[in-house]
Every structure is written in C-alpha cells, then in structure tokens.
Amino acid sequence: MLTEERHELILNELKKHSVVHVSTLVEMLDTSESTIRRDLNFLHNQGKLNKVHGGATSIKKNIHTKDDEIEVRKNLHTEEKISIARKAASLIKANDFVYIDAGTTTELMVDFIEEKNAVYVTNGINHASRLVSRGFTVYILAGEVKILTQAIIGIEAVNCLKKYNFTKGFFGTNGVCLENGFTTPEIKEALVKETALKKAREAYILADDSKFNEVSCVTFADIKDAAIITSNVDNKYKELVKADTKILEVVIR
C-alpha cells in the first residue's frame, strides 16, 4: 500500500471515530507499528491530526454535546490516565477533606490512594464503592443518578455540596481550552462540578493529552481556577502557561 493511501485511510478513520489507536491501525492497514507511528508523526506535523500517546485524535474544533459511554472512555489513553491518577493520589495528605469528581481518570485514583487519615466525598458511584471496599471514610452525594457517567448530579447534589469545605478537590473534564476553560457536555453535571470546585481550597483538573483544545457545550470553571495534572506537555500548551495556569506534568511509566 502506498504511503498516501495509508494517510487517506487514517484520516478517514478519524472522521468516523475522532480517535484512532496505533494497534487498531496496524491491524486495519496490515503494516508495522513503526510505520503507523511515522505516518501519525507526518500527519501531525502537517496539521491534519493531533498525535497523542498510543494513537491520534481529530483536530476538529466541534463543540461536543454528549458524553461517550463510560466503558468506551475507560479504554482510551489508559497509560496516561494511570500516571495522572497516581500523581493526583500522591497529593492527598493526613487530615485532608477531599472531593473526588466522577470520571474515568478520577476513578483510577482509588487504586493509588494510601491516606486513611482523610475523609473522602464523591459523586461517583463506582468511586464510593471502591473507596469503601478499601476501608476509607467516604460520603456520597444525594441526587439524580446519571447512568452514562455513573455520577450523582442535579440540584440535590449541588445543595449537598454547599455545606462542605474541601481542602482538595480532584475533577475530570471533557475539554481544556484557553478561551472556554474547563468544559463538559451536560448542564446538571457541570453545576455539580462548578459548585464542588468553588468549595475546594486546592482544585486539580485531571486531563490526559486528548482533552486539550477540546470544547464541550458547558463551561464549569475558568482556566485559572484549577491546577492541571497532565502528561506530554509540549509547545501546544504555551498559551496556558502564559495565562499563569499551573500545570503539574507527570511522566508515563
């Protein structure tokens, strides 16, 4: 197969799915991993896609209006998410009163949290169950259950949050953008995130490389309102650094 043909097929696959994985392309195009990585590097440098760890994402700036299924999101950017989750968990200290937002990366934090002398509050159903099973002191918000993200949302959840004052809060996001801030597709979930973030003395956004320069339809915080825990920091984040946004870079291992 000619190089140009591979490039066209890769871009067509991105149009369909917005995300492609190296392993998928190797199988689909019946070629080597090194060849696919060269193709992705070339197309990235041509400005035709956004190369990320393990694959590539579309560079289209569409405004996302819905969440992907949680089982789909769990299988994307796994290595990055694990490293980000490990770093986030290491920030929890004795006597912290911690909020953990629903999300696939924040859920991975549970595997790395060691501090038993802290209290945890979450709107993540799976998060609460796993924290309890590990012997932590946990409170879960009341409210509406959103099956798609396994999250507690809505006005009851917001009212629950108003009585709390967190030392640290850890949040997921669908998009990180200088102009639009931190965004998510659903208004009731955004209100919970916004309220919890404002009640946290230290707020951290857990965002893998694919979330940058993406925009969903509801902003829940300004770009300066939280530190960002991420990986693969490169030139495309220069504008964020200029905006005095704190970025905690982690190393994938």
Full-model pTM: 0.71
Query: CA 124, CA 152: separation in Å to the nearest integer?
Result: 6
Ranges of beta strands (E only) in 2-148 are 19-21, 50-52, 55-57, 63-64, 97-100, 119-122, 137-140, 144-146
Average pLDDT rounded to a whole number, residues 98-119 = 96
Query: CA 82, CA 35: separation in Å to the nearest integer?
Result: 27
Residue 74, phi-psi category: left (phi > 0), alpha (psi -120 to 50), beta (remainder): alpha
Average pLDDT rounded to a whole number, residues 179-200 = 94
Write out pLDDT tens, residues 19-52: 889 999 999 999 999 999 999 999 888 778 888 8
Give the model's pLDDT for residue 86: 96
Could you give the domains of the chain? 3-59 (1.10.10.10), 64-249 (3.40.50.1360)
Residue 82, phi then psi, degrees to nearest 5: -65, -45
For the chain, give the mean pLDDT.
Answer: 87
